[in-house]
Amino acid sequence: MKNNVLIAGAGPAGLEASAALQRLGYNVILIERSETIGGHLARWDRLFPDGESASAALDSLIEGIWGVKCFTDTEITSANRLGKSFNVILSNGIIVHADAVLMTTGFDLFEASKKEEYGYGIYDHVITNADLEAFFRNGSDPRINNPSRIGFVHCVGSRDEKAGCRSCSKVCCATAVKQACEMRQAFPNSQVYCFYMDLRLFGRHYEDMYLSAQRDYGVRFIRGRVAEVSENLDGSLMIKAEDTVASAPLKVSLDLLVLMAGMRPSVSGARIGSLLGLQSEDDGYFRVMDGILDAQRSTVPGLFLAGAATGPKTLPETLADARAAAVEIDKYLSVTFPEAKDFKQLMRKGW
Amino acid sequence: MIYEGKQKIWSEYQKEIPDDHYFYVRSCIRQSFFPASEATFLEITRNRLGKDIFETEHHTTCGGIAYHSDAIPQETAMTIIARQFGLMHKYGYENYVCSCITSFGLYCETLETWRQFPELAAKIADILWKTCKLEFAKPRFIVHASDLIYHYRNEIAAMARHRLVNVHTGEPLKVVEHIGCHYSKMFPSKGVGGAEYPYVLAGMIEAWGGQVVDYPERRHCCGFGFRQYFIKANRGYSLSNTYKKFESMEPYHPDMIITNCPGCPYFMDRWQYVIAEETGKTYGENGHGIPVFTYEEVAGLVLGYDPWDLGLQTHQIGPEPVLDKMGIKYDPSRKYLGLKGKDLGMPVCPGCIK
């Protein structure tokens, strides 16, 4: 008999874990609350540091889940423990007897309008990183009208106690540098400014991307936070910031301001987590058994976690976390349900 | 500009403002700067709207002017404030309305400090009893007087004799609203509309027919800033702040400015003369400055009070261009007459600005 594994969230982590568990011989049920799969990756255009196509990466992930039972527009409505397993009722009426549950509920983008001083939703030419990716994908946005002066604000909803977001979102600095270069490609005559607190670029090739942004694209990096944004009579934006390197206040007019909205714990993920009895930490992300040695196990037996559900991660980290979770689930099920072991070995011999 | 975006923020920052029964405290300096404003507030709320607004001659400064000048410590200011609240309680009130923005900010700061440090509140209560024999109390609601006029704005609009509309063109007057820094920049939730896009004055302007001017330096300080002005050597900072604001609003050609702080109308009014004297530049039409008003004065004009009874003759910048646009009749010969027709004397008018 195959073990059932329920995976909540069909973003990159959910897709990758589904493919891995399917190949390990489990009966995988993947559910996604929205109408389409792929999570935030489905709305992104290109990926840092090398500019690979996001849609090509997603297509590759989707190819891997062939045979997985995937339900979109579906949520968990209730869940309770049944022996060593979980009895989970889905919003489409299906009841799943899951021997393990993997939470890959991802993250929400910080709601940029909460930083009222930046004027998102108030001023015509203030957009977010997600809006800019949509522009790169679709090629049009009425707010982006051949801008000649463009600003990026790092850490919008990250490392900001006032906004209730203490943690670093990890990906925004690299995304900002990538997007700054892309804007210079799209608008070669433009001048691009990045307003940052610290640049947290740490991965392989990231430094090359940062140096290229300065050397090849002439992006100006200004170490200081933006204090306020206003609108000029001609619709352009007036930005007040502090240049902490020059020890001087700064005022600049821009045609476009891009807010690097950070990662926040998923609200819908938290709802499911409460149904399943998962614990969260102060930052809102789910608590894991051990952050170093057991980072894919929750504190509830049979409940596993992967991807940004346990904190901000880059895409490669998310995929690696998903694969690790698949291995942990396999280990758990082999011990907890030894009677299923022979069937799995039979399956794997057939590969 | 996306107006709906502002409306969304405004909807999130609506404070509860009781309709009636307030203990009123005046500002230290407003009666010197714009002497009729507080009297107009009491006239409108008590006599036109029929509200119970109580004041006593026993109340004092809140201490804010000394506190923000680093002349007294916070505990001293808190004790003075506790006495004010104690008087409110003694006279049977629990809603507190103050005329001064700095006081309002300091009251909010004090109440929050007491909430976070109850042992400090207990100490102040003890001092209050020993020194004044007054019972320690906190107001149930604390509002600024502009909150209250905002609350009554539609009632005032219903009784309006004049609107913020140019009677010659039918166009709404373009009005700059300037909010005192201590109104909501420290505690956004305590101000109508929050800190970034306050609605307290914008709501009055809209209700009375005007059009709000949103210009880049809208949030900037008027230039008062306590130590910027009180320390004589710093006055250049004060002036440069005001100059920055007027340079920023100039392209929008505002007809008038409304403020809700004691210092802001004074500095935005008086520094226009200094700018004109130093640079020869004026920001209004035909050598005029841009008239600056308190919200009580504007409410009074809307309700049809005589401009000279509202004390508009004490302004540096003559209000006549706005009065003419609103279609308000006034007698120029009465401009410098005080109470009971007392001749106040004709001031020396500068030649550089009207």
Q: Which chain A residues have a beta carbon less than 8 Å from that of B215?
A: 230, 233
Helices (H), chain A: 12-23, 54-63, 129-138, 172-186, 206-215, 267-276, 315-336, 341-349
**Which of 67-126 (A) contact B at CB < 8 A?**
113, 116-117, 119, 121-124
Same domain, A150 and A219: yes
Hey, are the CB atoms on B8 and A124 less than 8 Å from each other?
Answer: no
Nearest to B197 among A116, A124, A232 (CB): A116
Helices (H), B181-291: 181-184, 200-207, 227-230, 235-249, 263-279
Question: Distance from CA of residue A302 to its chain's centroid?
Answer: 24
The tokens for A291 are 């952050």
Same domain, B181 and B104: no
Hey, are the CB atoms on A116 and B5 less than 8 Å from each other?
Answer: no
Which residues are registered as beta bridge partners of B144?
B98
Cβ-contact B182, B102 below 8 angstroms: yes
Which tens digits make up the pLDDT trace of A319-340? 999 999 999 999 999 999 988 7
Helices (H), A198-266: 206-215
Hey, are the CB atoms on B5 and A232 less than 8 Å from each other?
Answer: no
Task: Note whether residue B347 is domain-resident.
Answer: no
Averaged confidence pLDDT in chain A? 95
- Domain endpoint, select from A238, A262, A286: A262
Say whether pLDDT at A1 is over 90.
no
Hey, are the CB atoms on A233 and B2 less than 8 Å from each other?
Answer: no
The tokens for B316 are 């540096």
Tell me which H or E stretch contains B81.
helix B74-90
Task: Note whether residue B79 is domain-resident.
Answer: yes
Say whether pLDDT at B187 is over 70.
yes
Say whether pLDDT at B210 is over 90.
yes
Question: 3-state class of B210 per DSSP?
Answer: coil
Q: Tell me the percentage of chain B whose pLDDT exceeds 70.
A: 100
By the 10 Å C-beta count (0-12 exposed, 13-18 middle, 19+ buried), A248 is classed as: exposed
Task: Note whether residue B58 is domain-resident.
Answer: yes
| A69-71 and A95-98 strand pairing | unpaired
Hey, are the CB atoms on B218 and A230 less than 8 Å from each other?
Answer: yes
Whether omega for the bond prior to residue B319 falls within 30 degrees of 0, making it cis, is no
Q: How far apart are CA A129 and CA A113, in angstroms?
A: 13
Dmax (CA) for chain A in angstroms is 74
Task: Note whether residue B195 is domain-resident.
Answer: yes
Same domain, A159 and A293: no
**Which of 219-238 (B) contact A at CB < 8 A?**
219
Same domain, B175 and B36: no
**Secondary structure letter of residue B172 according to DSSP:** B
The tokens for A103 are 């939470």
Say whether pLDDT at B143 is over 90.
yes
Nearest to A122 among B1, B195, B252 (CB): B1
Which tens digits make up the pLDDT trace of B49-60? 999 999 999 999
Looking at residue B226, what is its pLDDT? Answer: 82
CB-based contact, A335 to chain B, within 8 Å = no
List CB contacts of B167: < 8 A, sequence separation 6 or more. B325, B326, B327
User: If pLDDT is split at 50, 70 and 90, which confidence band does B267 have?
Assistant: very high
What's at B237, amino acid-wise?
A: Y
Residues B174-200, mean pLDDT to the nearest whole number:
96
| Total of domains in chain A | 2
Say whether pLDDT at A351 is over 80.
no
Cβ-contact A26, A333 below 8 angstroms: yes
Question: 3-state class of A301 per DSSP?
Answer: coil
- CATH number of the domain that residue B166 is part of: 3.40.50.11810
Averaged confidence pLDDT in chain B? 95
Q: Which chain B residues have a beta carbon less than 8 Å from that of A121?
A: 2, 5, 8
Q: Which chain A residues have a beta carbon less than 8 Å from that of B196?
A: 116-117, 119, 228
List CB contacts of B84: < 8 A, sequence separation 6 or more. B25, B59, B60, B62, B96
Same domain, B92 and B191: no
- Of chain B, the end-to-end C-alpha distance in Å amounts to 33
> Of B196, B214, B219, B245, which to mutate for an interface test with A (greatest number of A Cβ within 10 Å)?
B196
Which tens digits make up the pLDDT trace of A27-82? 999 999 999 999 999 999 999 999 999 999 999 999 999 989 999 999 999 999 99
Q: Which chain B residues have a beta carbon less than 8 Å from that of A113?
A: 5, 8-9
What's at A98, amino acid-wise?
A: A
- Minimum CA–CA partner of B2 in chain A: A122
Same domain, A149 and A256: yes
Same domain, B140 and B214: no
Task: Note whether residue B283 is domain-resident.
Answer: yes
Same domain, A124 and A219: yes
| Total of domains in chain B | 2
> What torsion, rounded to 10 degrees, do the Cα atoms A164, A167, A169, A173 define?
100
Residues A342-346, mean pLDDT to the nearest whole number:
65
Same domain, A124 and A257: yes
Helices B101-116 & B118-132 angle (0-180, nearest 10)? 120
Which tens digits make up the pLDDT trace of A289-307? 999 999 999 999 999 999 9
Residues in chain B: 354
Looking at residue A229, what is its pLDDT? Answer: 97
Handedness of CA B95, B99, B102, B103 (dihedral sign): negative
Q: How far apart are CA A257 and CA A260, in angstroms?
A: 10
Hey, are the CB atoms on B2 and A231 less than 8 Å from each other?
Answer: no
**Listed residue (A79, A46, A133) closest to A275, CA to CA:** A79
CB-based contact, A231 to chain B, within 8 Å = yes
Hey, are the CB atoms on B5 and A117 less than 8 Å from each other?
Answer: no
Q: How far apart are CA B50 and CA B44, in angstroms?
A: 8
Q: How far apart are CA B350 and CA B354, in angstroms?
A: 7
- Domain endpoint, select from B89, B115, B145: B145
Same domain, A63 and A142: no
- CATH number of the domain that residue A117 is part of: 3.50.50.60
Write out the residue range of the structural domain in which residue B78 sits: 22-145
Same domain, B206 and B311: yes
Same domain, B121 and B40: yes
Nearest to B219 among A228, A231, A233 (CB): A228
Range from A241-245, B234-238, B336-340 that averages highest in pLDDT: A241-245
Looking at residue A348, what is its pLDDT? Answer: 65
Token pair 């943690």: residue: A167
Same domain, B257 and B109: no
Say whether pLDDT at A179 is over 60.
yes
User: If pLDDT is split at 50, 70 and 90, which confidence band does B231 have?
Assistant: confident
Looking at residue B327, what is its pLDDT? Answer: 97
Hey, are the CB atoms on B251 and A124 less than 8 Å from each other?
Answer: no
Q: Which chain B residues have a beta carbon less than 8 Å from that of A127?
A: none
Does this model's pTM top 0.90? My answer is: yes
The tokens for B3 are 């107006």
Cβ-contact A52, A46 below 8 angstroms: yes
Hey, are the CB atoms on B1 and A124 less than 8 Å from each other?
Answer: yes
Which tens digits make up the pLDDT trace of B1-30? 899 999 999 999 999 999 999 999 999 999
Q: How far apart are CA A34 and CA A233, in angstroms?
A: 41
Token pair 């992967």: residue: A306
Distance from CA of A222 to the nearest CA of B (A): 22
- Domain endpoint, select from B109, B127, B145: B145
Task: Note whether residue B43 is domain-resident.
Answer: yes
**Which of 239-298 (A) contact B at CB < 8 A?**
none
Same domain, B140 and B165: no
Cβ-contact B326, B301 below 8 angstroms: yes
Looking at residue A158, what is its pLDDT? Answer: 96
Same domain, B43 and B112: yes
Q: Which chain A residues have a beta carbon less than 8 Å from that of B2?
A: 121-124
From the CB of residue A166, how many other CB atoms can be counted at a distance below 10 Å?
12
Task: Note whether residue B348 is domain-resident.
Answer: no
For B26-52, what is the HEC assignment?
A: CCCCHHHHCCCHHHHHHHHHHHHCCCC
ipTM: 0.88
Q: Which chain A residues have a beta carbon less than 8 Å from that of B218?
A: 230
Looking at residue B32, what is its pLDDT? Answer: 87
Looking at residue B275, what is its pLDDT? Answer: 96
Nearest to A238 among B5, B8, B216 (CB): B216
Helices (H), A216-304: 267-276
Write out the residue range of the structural domain in which residue A189 sits: 112-262
From the CB of residue B22, how many other CB atoms can be counted at a distance below 10 Å?
27
User: If pLDDT is split at 50, 70 and 90, which confidence band does A346 have?
Assistant: low
Hey, are the CB atoms on B216 and A124 less than 8 Å from each other?
Answer: no
The tokens for A251 are 């005022």
Same domain, B187 and B317: yes
Say whether pLDDT at B42 is over 70.
yes
Looking at residue B228, what is its pLDDT? Answer: 82
**Which of 189-208 (B) contact A at CB < 8 A?**
194-197
Say whether pLDDT at A13 is over 70.
yes
Say whether pLDDT at B142 is over 90.
yes
Same domain, A88 and A192: no
Distance from CA of A75 to the nearest CA of B (A): 30
Which residues are registered as beta bridge partners of B98?
B25, B144
Cβ-contact B196, A117 below 8 angstroms: yes
Same domain, A121 and A34: no
Same domain, B283 and B199: yes
> Of A111, A113, A116, which to mutate for an interface test with B (greatest number of B Cβ within 10 Å)?
A116
- Domain endpoint, select from B96, B126, B145: B145
- CATH number of the domain that residue B86 is part of: 1.20.1050.140
Q: Angle at CA B327, nearest 5°, toward B323 and B328?
A: 55
Cβ-contact B273, B127 below 8 angstroms: no
**Which of 171-230 (A) contact B at CB < 8 A?**
228, 230
What's at B95, amino acid-wise?
A: N
Same domain, B205 and B336: yes
Task: Note whether residue B128 is domain-resident.
Answer: yes
What share of residues in chain B are helix, strand, coil (percent, to 5)?
50, 10, 40
Q: Angle at CA A271, nearest 5°, toward A266 and A277?
A: 115
Q: Angle at CA B186, nearest 5°, toward B183 and B187?
A: 80
- Minimum CA–CA partner of A232 in chain B: B216
From the CB of residue A149, how many other CB atoms can be counted at a distance below 10 Å?
18
